[in-house]
Chain A
Amino acid sequence: MHTLAAVLAAEGEPNPLLPHTSELIVGTIAFALLYFFLRSKVFPIFEKTYAERRDAIEGGMERAKQLQEEAKEALAQYREQLADARHEAARLREEAREQGAAIIAEMREQAQAESRRIVEAAHQQIEADKAQALHQLRSTVGTLATELAARIVGEALQDDARQRSVIDRFLEDLDRTADESPDTAAPEGAARA
């Protein structure tokens, strides 16, 4: 370094390794002012922006995560509700089917009972009608026969008591013959009627 300086000095050139005091002063002041200006006015803004940006990114991620969680929860809830609804629907269908079946069975029962009742009533009615008809027939036949017989026999059978006993005997005979040959009795009876 000394030799270089000596050479330069010998050539009459200025020594580039010797600092100029005025440059030192101007440079230091300029740098110091620049430093204090940037440190107070500019770099805090950069740091703040960094922090805000990090916050924004992390906050955004946090929010996204939260939203995702919520969506997941909602989906699960929705699925659960859907499953519930399906169960409910199936249950209702089943119930409706059972109810329908029960109603049909009940109706059938009722209808059968009703029909039985109607048939029964008809039977009874027929029975009654038949009995009444028989009774009427019997009395009418008796009267007719008596009348006929009276006409034939004359006034002989006018006496009531005798008349009745004669009729009864006749009818008993009739019944007996009917019992002995039931196949022929009814047509004979019908013909007689």
Chain B
Amino acid sequence: MHRAGNGDALHLVNVAQAAGGEPFHAPGPGDFEFPPLFGFFTKPMLIVVLAALFVGIGFYLAARRASLVPSKGQFLGEGVYGFVRNSIVGDTIGLRDGLKFVPYLVTLFSFIAVLNLSGILPVLQFPATSRIAIPLFLALISWVIYNYIGIKRHGFVGYFKAMMFPPGLPKPIYVLLAPLELLSTVIIRPITLTLRLTLNMFAGHLVLLVCILGGEYLLVEKGGVFAALSVVPFAFSIVLTFFEAFVQVLQAYVFVLLSALYIAGALADEH
């Protein structure tokens, strides 16, 4: 879908370019670098801080006057909390073992969702999670947690034995399975967590940039019949914005669901 949008917009831009005038500079990774606002503090960092404040204050206000019959704010806060608690943790780890991971996973979900959604929020309009550092440290926290509680539950050797040698398989399979499982659990999982989130946000933002900058280029630089054509990339950017909203929430869900699954796997007696 991203690719298709990208292609359409680029095609229009190429047509415009062929008609002459100043060449179009396609947006690239350079558009994800911001000059510092002050000192080392950049726009993505500002978004991270704002998102943390927003999530913290939002939840605090939702819980401040908690009552049995929830207010609108409390309903929303409890909705997010209850969704992660019951639908994610309850279905993967189980509430008996998983209740102590609920705070982390709810924070994780809200934080990622808000950082993702900052990509389509007016004024901010940049998904901070497209900066690889953000998903990376979150993935590392999840990595530390699931490995730590796995070792704590089964012992160091027991954990790796349960991970690499799940019982009930024919012996030769282990030759293949053991190194794969080790590689997957210890190295690949945090990398895929990081890259999946980063690149989804990166690509989504890039496509929006292409549509909007392309439209702007047609409207401002080319003029005439091309200015009228700029309606197409602009309209497409609006459709894509809604699509991005969906992808942003979905990616937050996927990140949290996988974290919960990894924790559940580390806790499980049978792998």
Residues of B within 8 Å of A35, CB to CB, are: 103-104, 107
Residues of A within 8 Å of B197, CB to CB, are: none
Residue A13 lies at the interface, judged by CB distance under 8 Å to chain B: yes
Q: From known contacts A23-B44, A31-B111, A35-B107, infer whether A14 and B81 are also in contact, taking CB-CB under 8 Å.
A: no
- B242–chain A nearest beta-carbon distance, Å: 25
Task: Report yes or no: B30 in contact with A24, Cβ–Cβ below 8 A.
Answer: no
Residue B63 lies at the interface, judged by CB distance under 8 Å to chain A: yes
A23 to B41, CA, bound (A): 9
Residues of A within 8 Å of B63, CB to CB, are: 41-43, 45-46, 49
Task: Report yes or no: A27 in contact with B107, Cβ–Cβ below 8 A.
Answer: no
Task: Report yes or no: B102 in contact with A19, Cβ–Cβ below 8 A.
Answer: no
A38 to B33, CA, bound (A): 31
- B104–chain A nearest beta-carbon distance, Å: 6
A18 to B29, CA, bound (A): 11
- B134–chain A nearest beta-carbon distance, Å: 5
Residues of B within 8 Å of A21, CB to CB, are: 133
Residue A22 lies at the interface, judged by CB distance under 8 Å to chain B: yes
Q: Which parts of A4-29 form the interface with B (CB within 8 Å)?
A: 8, 11, 13-24, 26-28
Residue B225 lies at the interface, judged by CB distance under 8 Å to chain A: no
A26 to B44, CA, bound (A): 10
Residue B60 lies at the interface, judged by CB distance under 8 Å to chain A: yes
Residues of A within 8 Å of B77, CB to CB, are: 42, 46
Task: Report yes or no: A14 in contact with B103, Cβ–Cβ below 8 A.
Answer: no
Task: Report yes or no: B136 in contact with A19, Cβ–Cβ below 8 A.
Answer: yes
Task: Report yes or no: A34 in contact with B66, Cβ–Cβ below 8 A.
Answer: no
A33 to B55, CA, bound (A): 11
Task: Report yes or no: A31 in contact with B45, Cβ–Cβ below 8 A.
Answer: no
Q: Which parts of A96-130 form the interface with B (CB within 8 Å)?
A: none
Residue from A16, A24, A50, A53 within 8 A of B198 (CB atoms): A16
Residue A52 lies at the interface, judged by CB distance under 8 Å to chain B: yes
A159 to B33, CA, bound (A): 186
Residue A30 lies at the interface, judged by CB distance under 8 Å to chain B: yes
Task: Report yes or no: A38 in contact with B45, Cβ–Cβ below 8 A.
Answer: no
Task: Report yes or no: A39 in contact with B49, Cβ–Cβ below 8 A.
Answer: no
A121 to B66, CA, bound (A): 105
Task: Report yes or no: A19 in contact with B133, Cβ–Cβ below 8 A.
Answer: yes
Residue A37 lies at the interface, judged by CB distance under 8 Å to chain B: yes
Task: Report yes or no: A23 in contact with B131, Cβ–Cβ below 8 A.
Answer: yes
Residues of A within 8 Å of B59, CB to CB, are: 38, 42
Beta-carbon nearest neighbor of B70 in chain A: A49
Residues of B within 8 Å of A19, CB to CB, are: 131-133, 136
Task: Report yes or no: B137 in contact with A27, Cβ–Cβ below 8 A.
Answer: yes
Task: Report yes or no: A17 in contact with B132, Cβ–Cβ below 8 A.
Answer: yes
Residue B159 lies at the interface, judged by CB distance under 8 Å to chain A: no
Task: Report yes or no: B45 in contact with A46, Cβ–Cβ below 8 A.
Answer: no
Beta-carbon nearest neighbor of B65 in chain A: A45
Residue A131 lies at the interface, judged by CB distance under 8 Å to chain B: no
Task: Report yes or no: A46 in contact with B66, Cβ–Cβ below 8 A.
Answer: yes
Q: Give 25 A-B contacts (CB < 8 Å), ordered by A residue.
A: A13-B30, A16-B32, A23-B42, A23-B44, A23-B131, A24-B133, A26-B45, A30-B48, A30-B51, A33-B56, A34-B55, A34-B107, A34-B111, A37-B56, A39-B104, A42-B60, A42-B62, A42-B77, A43-B81, A43-B103, A46-B66, A46-B78, A46-B82, A49-B63, A49-B70
Starting from the known contacts A26-B49, A38-B56, A42-B60, 6 additional A-B residue pairs (CB-CB under 8 Å) come to A19-B131, A23-B45, A23-B133, A37-B56, A43-B102, A46-B78
Q: A residues within 8 Å of B by Cβ?
A: 8, 11, 13-24, 26-28, 30-31, 33-35, 37-39, 41-43, 45-46, 48-50, 52-53, 56
